[in-house]
Chain A
């Protein structure tokens, strides 16, 4: 139980960090697009806008997701949830957490191999920037791991608390 509480603390801290990076990335997108517009009006260009903003969007989506998940910002269909007494909800919550975690874990295994290959072969982007693509790919991988960790911790917590578990969506 203490171990679980520690894991939960850690996962929440990491989620917060991911969210912070995601917000910084949004600010970066804003800045880069404005810079590109300004430079274009002077007949110049950064030449890497679509490439780097693409990376930023990908990293933002995956690094920001665990925090939003934790805060209950991701929507679900509550048609059946609303009709089940709260103390019997935990098996459904457990099911959702486990199924989502297994999807992400499964996919991240293959993505990990891909990032490894991109790194070891030195694959670069075909653009002027010649970015080593393991960096943006790795950011997405990190996000997948964060999501998986968050969901596994959540599943363990549900298993421990069972009918005492209240998800963020059915807290009063």
Chain B
């Protein structure tokens, strides 16, 4: 199988550049060029023509504006005392359970996912607050990083979600039904994560040092949480009332945060300067990766890689369950190297007809696919949540990936559950449209 050698070639090239310590965005750029040149036999002029246009196309996308704005919102929250209050508010709620305030990762991400359409923004925003607080309190590093990586990817599954919109448009299914279909699986995964944290902490209490229970009542706790809950309410409310589109909600979030900070007299010039500088650095990190990931996808497209691999799977005539396993494997492999939107766009023309023919519901498959994509967010070498966490914590990518492994497995387990009981996905949209 010729295409297999091409796939191996691309992987080897990428691993080579990454291990040389080349920036990840530059590695993807170099591999895109190198793979068309060496593996696709394209002449260098044509490669220059293709990628110059794709670089512009990939970055000239207004939906990406949600990234700097959600990051800015996170920065403002982080640099004011809102984050401290969020944390203090969640502490009395979470510290009652084994694992203590590790659950703020899961809870925080689940809440923020309902505001944000991307997993990178969710991870960055919540992570900015929790990684340092958890470290300062002596919590197990692996558990804090891993749970954040896993829970951060819920940004895609809990609506609003950019990938769901891409899938809905491609697969011609209702985006509003997709949004509803993602809610229960999202909560299920959050529950699995929290359950796992409790189990680990119960087995080994040293992982989550017992905190002094502050003498707070639930009411005081809610008082502390009020500003954040208000912000979440404003952002979600702006989307579900039709005032803003999911892509515009980030701007509403920033405006609301600014108003809140002004009312509380927390705003200052140094705070704004720091917030904007931090926003720029995180935004460019994420955007440069997104843009070059699209170059990589273009290169794969020209090499016909995803298409031929999927076609090969189709030719095997598998039983529905075996087909699903094969597809899961296929998506996990693609997820090692590609970002979610590219995976969706490149593979669906081939996989969707196979899946429909095997009798699967397109809404259900959309959710299955998104869980697969979320897995790709936390697998090396190209995993966006890993990148975000690497830059937040300063830990190496291998350390971050290793810490994420249990949560990767838990998400695989969730994929298995929704495959055995498709009602987990389909029940809510069916009830809501009736």
Contacts and interface: CB of A to CB of B under 8 A. Distances in A.
A26 B285 CA distance: 15
A24 to B, nearest CB: 10
B284 A96 contact: no
Contact of B280 (A26, A33, A54, A106): A26
Contacts of A61: 59, 284, 287-288, 291
B contact patch SS: helix
A23 B284 CA distance: 11
A contact patch SS: helix
B284 A57 contact: no
B280 A22 contact: yes
A65 interface: yes
A56 interface: yes
Of B53, B280, B381, B390, most buried by chain A (CB within 10 Å of CB) is B280
Contact of B284 (A68, A93, A100, A114): A68
A55 B60 contact: yes
A49 interface: yes
A73 B45 CA distance: 31
A73 B284 contact: yes
Contacts of A64: 280, 283-284
A150 B19 CA distance: 23
Contact of A60 (B24, B255, B283): B283
A80 B21 contact: yes
A96 B62 contact: no
A56 to B, nearest CB: 7
B255 to A, nearest CB: 6
A68 B287 CA distance: 12
Interface residues of A, number: 60
Interface string B42-83: 001100110111011001111011001100100000000000
B257 to A, nearest CB: 11
Interface of B: 17-26, 29-30, 33, 44-45, 48-49, 51-53, 55-56, 59-62, 64-65, 68-69, 72, 238, 243-244, 248, 250-252, 254-255, 276-277, 279-285, 287-288, 291, 381, 387, 390-391, 396-398
7 contacts: A29-B65, A34-B255, A54-B62, A55-B60, A57-B65, A78-B21, A103-B29
Interface of A: 19, 22-23, 26-27, 29-30, 33-34, 36-37, 41, 49-51, 53-58, 60-62, 64-65, 67-69, 71, 73-82, 89, 92-93, 95-96, 99-100, 103-104, 106-111, 114, 136-137, 140, 144
